[in-house]
Amino acid sequence: MASTLRRRLLPDERGAEAPHREDSPIDQPTTHVHVVEQKPKKSKRRNTFIFLLGSLCGIVGAGFFASSNDLIDFPEFGEISVDSILDIVPPGLVKDMKDFVQGERDVAETYDSFSVGLQARAEGLEAHHPMIMVPGVISTGLESWGTANISRAYFRKRLWGSWTMMRALVMDKEIWKRHIMLDKRTGLDPPMVKLRAAQGFDATDFFITGYWIWNKIFENMATIGYDPTNSYTAAYDWRLSYKNLEVRDRYFSKLKSYIESAVVFDGKKVVLASHSMGSQVVFYFFHWVQSESGGRGGPSWVEDHISSWINISGCMLGAVKDLTAILSGEMRDTAQLNAFAVYGLEQFLSKEERAELFRAMPGISSMLPMGGNAVWGDADWAPDDQPDQKVSYGSFLNFRTGNNLTTPAHNLTVEESLEYLFDTTEDWYQDQIKGSYSHGVAHSRAEVEANELDQTKWVNPLETRLPLAPSLKIYCFYGVGKPTERAYFYKAPDQPSQTNLNITIDIGLTEGDVDHGVIMGEGDGTVNLLSTGYMCNKGWNMERYNPAGVKVTVVEMPHEPERFNPRGGPRTADHVDILGRQNLNELILRVAAGKGDTISSYVVSNIREYAAKVKIYDEESVPEAADDAS
């Protein structure tokens, strides 16, 4: 099996290199791992899943993806089947879907999902630490437990993360919306509706049949000895604000209890592995569990119970696409659709409906970008600007001249865009978000320590610190090299009298670096590089954010997808598909087996250069000195 890791045996820090085996993903347990990647090749592949919440084309595409046959029927749909839907689908799209399915079959026949675990087991790695996995946003299935009239037909059925969701969206959209949206005032269950996060490994292994999420990690972990007795998936209702995860579901109390039980039973500290939004949940948990207003574990609880935290593609500083999704129900996935797909999507869920849905899920807003202009730039500058770039990334929402009075008078930075969002959204949304999260920067140790008492700060790593756990190890594994939306052009709606939205993406603008109103930057296709990389490479090197000196190891994974593989193959770095990446699985197994100290940092992007330009400094530093930092 061709491996993405090359091992170097290092007898000492300056010793000569020993021969390495390129065909083995995991060397002897005592070796030191240095991750070497090739430079990413430029390639393009069709984005088959158009938008999870919406379009008919996405539903049909998902049907092809999940099926073992070229065409499938949905018995639940009554008279509706894929055959009948295909009558109105363009032939070119049908061909693309068939190619997509065939590619997935070919991959399944040639790629053994258990191969990473088998190789690791052959080289002596075995289950050591208890493992707890915290999934990302929207990857946990939500099932109905309501018994009112509107819910009885869906009792114990998943209204998120299943074909039942697709059926309800098509056939019973208003009922589906009533279930999936939280109460706007309380942020909890609406009257007569009760949705709860599915539990167990099957809560997150597949989104729908055939579309894996955590399944490949589960397979490889099982191969070295993990099962439900020494591993656990801490699924959660990602719609809830973090404080309401505890209020309604006692989520953090249950997580604390499970970790404590695992440590007592196994006699070893726990490894936490989190993905995307799940990394924010873990960071919040670190504060909650120690706080007297939370878990009351005291300042040594993390030190006593957590061995390592594997932070996979963590959106530690949020994601800029989250802001536009909440502002106007849009992002690149919707802006760059063709006319047919746009029509299908708008028939199911219009921009205004999507914005309303996202706003009524306060958990989604936890990923609004943090750090303001210091991180994301101002009107004329951003730390990740490229040479000869015509429009700075710092100018986040841009407007062409000639727009009418519904658009702002000038272009907006990320900081100004957040203010604009709060100024133009309903008071219930403002109350929910401002009462749950904070987006600023703490510039001194005193501020950071004071913020430990304020739960609205606990999700923001720029306002709070890592736990006082000197033996804790953090591993940041994230993808790079996939274009990721970074700024936008907006305009007034085409028919302002027919919508409550003030502005929408200017999808008609395509010139230079602007594609359908979207400007791309660096990241993993979903989360920006500044978000995944800043804290890992620079922020947690500052004493006020990491007073205990927790060791942070960073491994960047260049995006090198296989051209005809619909999920990218074993070298993808896409935000979700990276969970099936071969060397990510290798590194997770190594940490779980107690050999994480053999992993060395590997950074291939310019994140350290960008991080040095971010306008956040050590207390003893001056800006000029910080600008010269490496």
Catalytic residues: 276, 524, 575
The closest of 491, 474, 553 to 309, measured between CA atoms, is 474
CA distance 354 to 60: 20
> What is the maximal distance between C-alpha atoms in the chain?
73
Q: Which helix (H) or strand (E) holds 592?
A: helix 582-592
Spatial contact of 541 and 461, defined as CB atoms under 8 Å apart: no
Query: Would you state the torsion angle of the CA atoms of residues 218, 219, 224, 229, taken in this order, to the nearest 10 degrees?
Result: 50
How many helices and strands in the chain, by DSSP H and E? 23, 18
The tokens for 432 are 């929910």
- Residue 116 has φ and ψ, to the nearest 5°, of -65, -45
Residue with tokens 């068939």: 98
Spatial contact of 428 and 185, defined as CB atoms under 8 Å apart: yes
Q: Could you give the C-alpha distances from 323 to 137, 211, 329, 606, in angstroms and in order?
A: 15, 27, 9, 25
Q: Name the DSSP letter for residue 202.
A: G
What is the distance, to the nearest Å, from the Cα of residue 452 to the centroid of all Cα atoms in its chain?
25
Residue with tokens 């219930």: 428
Angle among Cα 150, 152, 157 to the nearest 5 degrees reads: 110
Instruction: Give the three-class secondary structure for 630.
Output: coil
Contacts of 378 (CB under 8 A, 6+ apart): 392, 394, 413
Q: Could you give the C-alpha distances from 48 to 28, 334, 580, in angstroms and in order?
A: 40, 13, 17
Q: Which helix (H) or strand (E) holds 85?
A: helix 82-86
What's at 200, amino acid-wise?
A: G
Residue with tokens 């960071």: 283
DSSP track, 86-130: HTTS-HHHHHHHHHHHHHHHHHHHH--TTHHHHHHHHTT----S-
Q: How many CB atoms lie within 10 A of CB 42?
A: 7
Spatial contact of 583 and 2, defined as CB atoms under 8 Å apart: no
Q: How many CB atoms lie within 10 A of CB 354?
A: 23
CA distance 563 to 107: 12
**What residues form DSSP beta bridges with 6?**
34
DSSP track, 33-47: EE---PPPPP-----
Q: Name the DSSP letter for residue 320.
A: H
Spatial contact of 521 and 392, defined as CB atoms under 8 Å apart: no
Instruction: Give the three-class secondary structure for 538.
Output: coil
Residue with tokens 């059926």: 167
